[in-house]
Amino acid sequence: MNELPQQLANGLILGAMYGLIAIGYTMVYGIVQLINFAHGEIFMVGGFGALTVHLWLPDNFALGAAIPLMILGGVIVSVAVATAAERFAYRPLRTAPRLAPLITAIGLSIVLQQVVWMWYPDAKKDRPFPQFEGGPFDVFGANIQRGDLFVLIAAPVCMIALGFFVTKTRSGRGMQATAQDPDTAKLMGINTDRIIVMAFAIGAAFAAIAAVAYGLKNGQVGFRMGFLMGLKAFTAAVLGGIGNIYGAMLGGLVLGVAESLATGYIGDIPGMSLFGGGAWKDVWAFALLILVLLLRPQGLLGERVADRA
Amino acid sequence: MTTTTTATTTVLDASNVTMRFGGLTAVRSVDLTVNTGEIVGLIGPNGAGKTTFFNCLTGLYVPTSGTVKYKGTVLPPKPHLVTQAGIARTFQNIRLFANMTVLENVLVGRHTRTNEGLWSALLRLPGFKKAEQESRERAMELLEFTGLAAKADHLARNLPYGEQRKLEIARALASEPGLLLLDEPTAGMNPQETRATEELVFAIRDKGTAILVIEHDIRFIMNLSDRVAVLVQGEKLVEGSAETIQADERVIAAYLGTPFEGAPGTEEAAEVEAAEAQSTTEGDAK
Amino acid sequence: MTTKNPAATTTDTTKSPTAQATPLIPLPPTAARALTIAGSAAALIGTFLAWTWTDEFPGNLTVTGYPGGLQVLTLVGAALTLLFALSGYGIRGLGWLTPGGTNSPVLLLALGVLGTTGYAMGAISDELGGLVNLDPGAWISGIGSLIAVIGAFGLPVDQPYDDGDPTPHLWGRIRHSLTAPEPGRAKDLPSWAEILIIAAGFGAGLYVFAYGIGTEYSELFIGFLIIAAFGFTALTRAGLLKRLSALTAKHRNVNLAAAFVAAICFPFTQSNDQFALIGANILIFATVALGLNVVVGLAGLLDLGYVAFLGVGAYAAALVSGSPQSSIGVHFPFWAAVLTGAAASLIFGVVIGAPTLRLRGDYLAIVTLGFGEIFRITMNNLNGNSGPDVTIGSNGIPNIPDLEIFGFNLGLPHDVAGHELTRSGNYYLLMLLFTAIVVMVFRRSAESRIGRAWVAIREDETAATAMGINSFRLKLLAFALGASLAGLAGTVQSHVSYSVTPEQYQFAGSVPPNSAFLLAAVILGGMGTISGPLIGAALLYLIPAKLQFMADYQLLLFGLALMLLMRFRPEGLVADRRKQLEFHETGQLDVPEDAPLPEGATGVAKAGA
């Protein structure tokens, strides 16, 4: 059972990634009640953006120093795509029945996947992502790879920054107001359009950071990486309470740890020996979602969605 | 117009109804009864909790404490069961099925009084046709009653505002309720339309349905109601006949603002201030 | 008779054009019409000449006197253009062609001919390397069609501008010239004549459809799409389709019967098994889309993993089909297999729906999406390594035996009245039976108390519950019904494809059916209607199948199409009249006549009250 720290560590690392992506889903849903299907692909293009920066840098550039630049590159690409999507695909449909923006989001997600697949050089297969040299650290019995350190630092930093933004800055409070009641917010002089753009942008930025983490952890990025990660991240957002940004991160962590533990230990349960291992991890994630919806549909920390009735 | 004489029974008995949302108490210990053949009005300033109270009467909210009884039985906690039991309502903001026709809207209203299920529909058993026919006839009767029969095949969203309100009422009547809850039925209407609605409500009462109306139009309520209850800040301030209410100083102060006739003098202004102070202290004391 | 502008019975000079009604190209009307006719005639004649000198371009366009391939398309288009242009002269006997717009159909057809011919010329040049490869015949047709278009733009505009509206700029005027007023009511013909017309309409439709499926090379298919699209729009503007649909609405059961007779005839028109197979697959896809239409189109539930129900039915049927690789060694008779498949899907539908349908609709979307993926992963994993060996994992269960129903072996070709029915043809007819059942289920449930309740829930769930509708139970009913219908289709699919594999059931992939394509078929075709998803499914299946050379771009175009569709025509192709009003604030209302008010109606404000 000294695997446990390892499994926990894996779970937290994975969960932090889910959480960062989930922020994007939850913020957008909380304000405009739209499941931004393309958010998984925003995550994906962020990863490719970061990769591109790395490819431009000279060969002997230290990875540690390159990381901030890569993050910047990824963020720029993600935010650009997300805000363009909001402006040209979603905004015209804001008054349309709910189905229209959802279908548009699905279409956009497919388009983004295909664009990368077709036009990014060599993207038909997964492309390798730079890795840190050196061995893992031993923390309480768990091996932590150097690359994983990134997300363990980045996630808390991002959450603190976001918390500060939402509670202490004018724009942040405007975002809370818009999330609760967009019409009144408008009457109070808040530029709700700008707020919505901000929500998309922040979500995209966080997703790009998660993509860098993903690349560092898995050693590769591919055009399909957004689909399953996106699905699970939305699950995490629902788990934590949709619209609730702390819920998103919490949900991500819970989901990551649950997946890890299930993968590691389900096989030990008598009779379930065949069900252990990585092949089933997505199934457990989904099962967790169903369970939460059955028992506590508002999520762990409660929903925060504007009443659009 | 003669009033139907039936044995007077208590149709609605709401006692001590309290509704709390987290820290906010929207409705506080409200008692209200409605008897057969009565039209009861419910007035109060905006935010006084009238619609919330309605929602407690229809199963949309389950009261935090207190009971609501319809014809002696406690209300079931689900809205569709409440309608099945016999309470129907209209909404403050019109909630028609905009993309269905007028007739279809009323047919949906009949849902709870019919029971052809999926198998009956798929197999088109003989009972199905008969039931559909009956439903249509009943629906057309209601449309004629409300004066909408000519527009039976129009889409609900194409009706002018006043007729949309009438359609909501027709739709609510389709479930053959013993108690009809009308939430601001004359909002946005001109005096002519308001008069027409008054007549309609009387006609509904004459057919045997008791009615509870929320309204802001004082003249409408006073003409219409046998009794009026005043809700202020979630509490029932006073209840009585139209004349009693109009004369009550607290009501005047809290709701009507200026006195009903004549210009306010300094004495009356002082009275108003005193009344306001009184109602705020009463609110604090609770 | 048809309401025709008397001014048009002579020449068009008696219609005094206001400044607003001037056509785009200022020509005197007689000249315009003459040009149109001359141009179309030239285009038509050109098709009898050779268009190119070599056989390398498919369709054999090298022979004089025998139009082939794309030439045939131009020929048909030009002939139609001539016909409609002539009807504008008010020639008796042709007036019935254009009850709606007179000139816009001509314009549209001319544009269609230009499109097809231009495309043909472009394709020839592109493939053979240069305009020099075009023979005079092609140039004659090409220039002829251009002249026809110019002439058509010179014809007076059908739809008058509203008074007071400013004359729009060029693009607006072009668009406006393509619109036409609605046709008036047709005079009633004797029933037998109307039924004959319906039958003829379906016959024509069948022919066009079979032609489209049977196109052997992609250039022909593209040309076909162009002329079909323009031609269809032209017929709509001419008002003919409105007339036809009024007739079909009058004789609804005849309509349905004719549709099925036409559909039954289809496999007999195909001696090539490949095309019958396409037909069978289209039917499967279309039936599943119709099932999804119950869930999404009627009840408004967003199901993103619907294809999983198809898969459950298929796997269930495969497991009991007696395939040697099946882990359950039973061989059910067909009817039992069907019930098994439908029941399995039903159970899963209830299991998935029960916890999620109480919650907000967006959660259902995610849960169903997850279920779709989980289904695929589970089927993949039950291969003996990651799980008990039930489904053999990614290779799936092969060798599903052909069905034998009442001794009729569906796997073998049969001879029916002198025509050959291939294996795929057999399965096509079997599937047609299922499609008929699903259509009936859809129609009967939609037009009932249950169907109304579904639409009410979709419109406004709170109001619906206030009307006494138990929304949870009804949503579950819709969901479960949709699932069973998909399961039903799945049982046939497993036999048609000989095997079931997990990869067939994805969310989005290049091969339909998958959940994204199904959703697109329902939405593209038109939610809540019967013919909508059928047409949508047919198009979505056919286009990728026919345009193989574009395989790489398919998904990209699909995604773009979804986005554009939602932006500009969210109600889909076959617009449920209500949906169209829901998505657009149209000025034109399809408002029926008011019946006179009965005396003594209460609640009606009396004047002076």
- Contact at CB, C449 and B97, closer than 8 angstroms: no
Residues C286/C534, Cβ–Cβ less than 8 Å? yes
| Number of domains forming the structure of chain A | 1
pLDDT at C477 over 70: yes
- Contact at CB, B108 and C456, closer than 8 angstroms: yes
Task: Tell me if A305 is assigned to some domain.
Answer: no
Task: Tell me if A76 is assigned to some domain.
Answer: yes
Supply the pLDDT for residue C16: 40
Supply the pLDDT for residue C17: 42
Strands (E), C318-464: 404-405, 408-409, 414-416, 419-421
CATH for A141: 1.10.3470
Is the bond preceding B45 in cis, omega lying within 30 degrees of 0?
no
Contact residues, B window 143-162, toward C, CB-based 8 Å cutoff: 144-147, 149-155, 157-158
pLDDT at C421 over 80: no
- Contact at CB, C468 and B83, closer than 8 angstroms: yes
Q: pLDDT band at residue B282, thresholds of 50, 70 and 90?
A: low
Q: Which residue does chain B place closest to C477, by CA atoms?
A: B118
Q: From chain A, pick out residues whose CB is under 8 angstroms from the CB of C302.
A: 99, 102
- Contact at CB, C598 and B149, closer than 8 angstroms: yes
Contacts of residue C226, Cβ cutoff 8 Å, sequence gap at least 6: C112, C115, C116, C119
* pLDDT (tens digit per residue) in B183-219: 999 888 888 888 989 999 999 999 989 999 998 887 8
Longest distance between any two alpha carbons in chain A, whole Å: 62
Segments forming the whole domain that contains residue A144: 3-295
- Contact at CB, A35 and C386, closer than 8 angstroms: no
* pLDDT (tens digit per residue) in B138-193: 999 999 999 898 888 888 888 898 899 999 999 999 999 999 999 999 888 888 88
> Average pLDDT, whole number, for chain B?
84
Supply the pLDDT for residue C608: 33
Supply the pLDDT for residue C433: 87
Question: Rounded mean pLDDT of C561-590?
Answer: 62
- Contact at CB, A104 and C566, closer than 8 angstroms: yes
- Contact at CB, A110 and C365, closer than 8 angstroms: no
Q: pLDDT band at residue B118, thresholds of 50, 70 and 90?
A: confident
Stronger pLDDT, B250 or A36, i.e. the higher one: A36
CA distances from B254 to B270, B280, C153 (A): 14, 10, 71
* pLDDT (tens digit per residue) in A253-263: 999 999 888 88
Supply the pLDDT for residue C165: 61
- Contact at CB, A286 and C374, closer than 8 angstroms: yes
Supply the pLDDT for residue B5: 47
Question: Rounded mean pLDDT of B249-276?
Answer: 68
Residue B69: enclosing H or E segment and its boundaries? strand B65-70
Smallest CA-to-CA distance from C390 within C486, C337, C335, C312 is with C312
Q: pLDDT band at residue A72, thresholds of 50, 70 and 90?
A: very high
Supply the pLDDT for residue A146: 78
- Contact at CB, C604 and B151, closer than 8 angstroms: no
Report the residue from C361, C370, C555 with minimal CB separation from A114: C555
C544 vs C531: CA distance, rounded Å? 21
Q: From chain C, pick out residues whose CB is under 8 angstroms from the CB of A104.
A: 562-563, 566-567
Residues C294/C481, Cβ–Cβ less than 8 Å? yes
A212 vs A147: CA distance, rounded Å? 10
Task: Tell me if A303 is assigned to some domain.
Answer: no
* pLDDT (tens digit per residue) in A240-249: 988 888 999 9
Question: Rounded mean pLDDT of C439-463?
Answer: 90
- Contact at CB, C468 and B147, closer than 8 angstroms: no
Q: pLDDT band at residue B270, thresholds of 50, 70 and 90?
A: confident
Which chains would you list as touching A if contact means 3+ CB atom pairs under 8 Å?
A: C
Asked if B136 is an interface residue toward chain C (Cβ–Cβ < 8 A), one would say no
Question: Out of A225-229, C173-177, C498-502, C515-519, which region has the weakest mean confidence (pLDDT)?
Answer: C173-177
Q: Looking at beta carbons, which pairs linking C263-266 to residues 24 or more positions away fall under 8 Å?
A: C263/C206, C263/C432, C263/C435, C264/C429, C264/C432, C265/C206, C266/C206, C266/C209, C266/C210, C266/C428
Task: Tell me if A308 is assigned to some domain.
Answer: no
Task: Tell me if A23 is assigned to some domain.
Answer: yes
Chain C: give the shortest CA distance to residue A61, in Å.
Answer: 36
Contacts of residue C203, Cβ cutoff 8 Å, sequence gap at least 6: C262
Asked if B140 is an interface residue toward chain C (Cβ–Cβ < 8 A), one would say no
Contact residues, B window 38-77, toward C, CB-based 8 Å cutoff: 58, 60
* pLDDT (tens digit per residue) in C251-305: 777 777 777 877 777 777 766 777 778 888 888 888 999 999 999 888 888 888 8
- Contact at CB, C369 and A231, closer than 8 angstroms: yes
Report the residue from C460, C466, C605 with minimal CB separation from B196: C605
Pairing verdict, β B10-21 and B179-183: unpaired
Question: If you write DSSP's letter for every residue of C536-599 in order, what string do you get?
Answer: HHHHHHHHHHH-GGGHHHHHHHHHHHHHHHHHH-TT-SS--HHHHHHHS--S---PPPPPPPPT
Supply the pLDDT for residue A228: 86
Q: pLDDT band at residue B286, thresholds of 50, 70 and 90?
A: very low
Task: Tell me if A87 is assigned to some domain.
Answer: yes
- Contact at CB, C601 and B153, closer than 8 angstroms: no
Smallest CA-to-CA distance from C332 within C313, C319, C345 is with C319
Supply the pLDDT for residue C44: 85
Q: Which domains does chain C have, with CATH numbers?
A: 23-160+174-245 (no CATH), 273-551 (1.10.3470)
Report the residue from C465, C477, C598 with minimal CB separation from B80: C465
Which chains would you list as touching B if contact means 3+ CB atom pairs under 8 Å?
A: C
Residues A70/A53, Cβ–Cβ less than 8 Å? yes
pLDDT at A132 over 50: yes
Q: From chain C, pick out residues whose CB is under 8 angstroms from the CB of A241.
A: none
Contacts of residue C531, Cβ cutoff 8 Å, sequence gap at least 6: C525, C574
- Contact at CB, C356 and A227, closer than 8 angstroms: no
Supply the pLDDT for residue B284: 56
A266, A283, A295: best to mutate for the C interface, most C CBs within 10 A? A283
> Average pLDDT, whole number, for chain C?
77
Supply the pLDDT for residue C4: 42
Supply the pLDDT for residue C473: 93
Question: Out of A28-37, A219-228, C229-238, which region has the weakest mean confidence (pLDDT)?
Answer: C229-238
> B181 has which bridge partners?
B89, B212
Could you state, in order of their start, the residue ranges of all structural domains in chain B?
Answer: 1-86+178-262, 97-176
Note the pTM of the prediction, 2 decimals: 0.80
Contact residues, B window 77-116, toward C, CB-based 8 Å cutoff: 78-80, 83-84, 88-89, 91, 95-100, 104, 107-109, 111-112, 114, 116
* pLDDT (tens digit per residue) in C47-84: 888 887 777 777 777 777 777 778 888 888 888 888 88
- Contact at CB, B121 and C592, closer than 8 angstroms: no
Q: Which residue does chain C place closest to A289, by CA atoms?
A: C367
* pLDDT (tens digit per residue) in C336-388: 888 989 999 999 999 888 888 887 777 888 888 888 888 888 888 777 666 66
Dihedral sign of CA atoms A191, A193, A195, A198 in order? negative
Supply the pLDDT for residue C386: 62
Q: pLDDT band at residue C547, thresholds of 50, 70 and 90?
A: confident
Residues A212/A70, Cβ–Cβ less than 8 Å? yes
Taking one residue from B and the other from C, the number of pairs with CB-CB distance under 8 angstroms is: 149
Chain B: give the shortest CA distance to residue C446, in Å.
Answer: 9
C512 vs C292: CA distance, rounded Å? 14
Contacts of residue A169, Cβ cutoff 8 Å, sequence gap at least 6: none
pLDDT at C155 over 50: yes
Question: Rounded mean pLDDT of A12-35?
Answer: 91
C480 vs C445: CA distance, rounded Å? 13
- Contact at CB, B95 and C465, closer than 8 angstroms: no
- Contact at CB, C450 and B124, closer than 8 angstroms: no
Strands (E), B184-261: 210-214, 227-232, 235-240
B1, B61, B106, B108: best to mutate for the C interface, most C CBs within 10 A? B108
- Contact at CB, C467 and B135, closer than 8 angstroms: no
Q: From chain C, pick out residues whose CB is under 8 angstroms from the CB of B111.
A: 449, 452-453, 456, 467-469
Chain C: give the shortest CA distance to residue B183, in Å.
Answer: 13
Q: Which residue does chain B place closest to C457, by CA atoms?
A: B97
Tell me, what DSSP letter sits at residue C609?
-
Stronger pLDDT, B90 or C512, i.e. the higher one: B90
Report the residue from A98, A110, A279 with minimal CB separation from C516: A110
Q: Which residue does chain B place closest to C438, by CA atoms?
A: B122
ipTM for the whole complex:
0.84
Question: If you write DSSP's letter for every residue of chain A in order, what string do you get?
Answer: -TTHHHHHHHHHHHHHHHHHHHHHHHHHHHHH----TTHHHHHHHHHHHHHHHHHHS-TT--HHHHHHHHHHHHHHHHHHHHHHIIIIIIGGGTTS-THHHHHHHHHHHHHHHHHHHHHSTTTTS-EE-----S--EEETTEEE-HHHHHHHHHHHHHHHHHHHHHHHSHHHHHHHHHHH-HHHHHHTT--HHHHHHHHHHHHHHHHHHHHHHHHHHHSEE-TTHHHHHHHHHHHHHHHH-TT-HHHHHHHHHHHHHHHHHHHHHGGGSTT-GGG-SGGGHHHHHHHHHHHHHHH-TT-SS--------
Supply the pLDDT for residue C190: 78
By residue count, chain C amounts to 609
Q: Which residue does chain B place closest to C441, by CA atoms?
A: B122
Which chains would you list as touching C if contact means 3+ CB atom pairs under 8 Å?
A: A, B
Supply the pLDDT for residue B168: 93
Task: Tell me if A288 is assigned to some domain.
Answer: yes
Q: Which residue does chain A place closest to C508, by CA atoms?
A: A110
Q: Which residue does chain B place closest to C597, by CA atoms?
A: B150
Chain B: give the shortest CA distance to residue C555, in Å.
Answer: 34
- Contact at CB, B118 and C477, closer than 8 angstroms: yes
Question: Rounded mean pLDDT of C437-464?
Answer: 90
pLDDT at B91 over 80: yes
Question: Rounded mean pLDDT of B119-129?
Answer: 86
Number of C-beta neighbours around residue A141 at 10 A: 12
pLDDT at B26 over 80: yes
C17 vs C177: CA distance, rounded Å? 14
Chain B: give the shortest CA distance to residue C477, in Å.
Answer: 9
Chain C: give the shortest CA distance to residue A275, in Å.
Answer: 6
Supply the pLDDT for residue C5: 42
B1-86+178-262, CATH topology level:
Rossmann fold (3.40.50)
Supply the pLDDT for residue C609: 32
* pLDDT (tens digit per residue) in A32-52: 888 898 999 999 999 999 999
Chain C: give the shortest CA distance to residue B109, in Å.
Answer: 5
C388 vs C397: CA distance, rounded Å? 15
Task: Tell me if A302 is assigned to some domain.
Answer: no
pLDDT at C405 over 50: yes
pLDDT at C315 over 80: yes
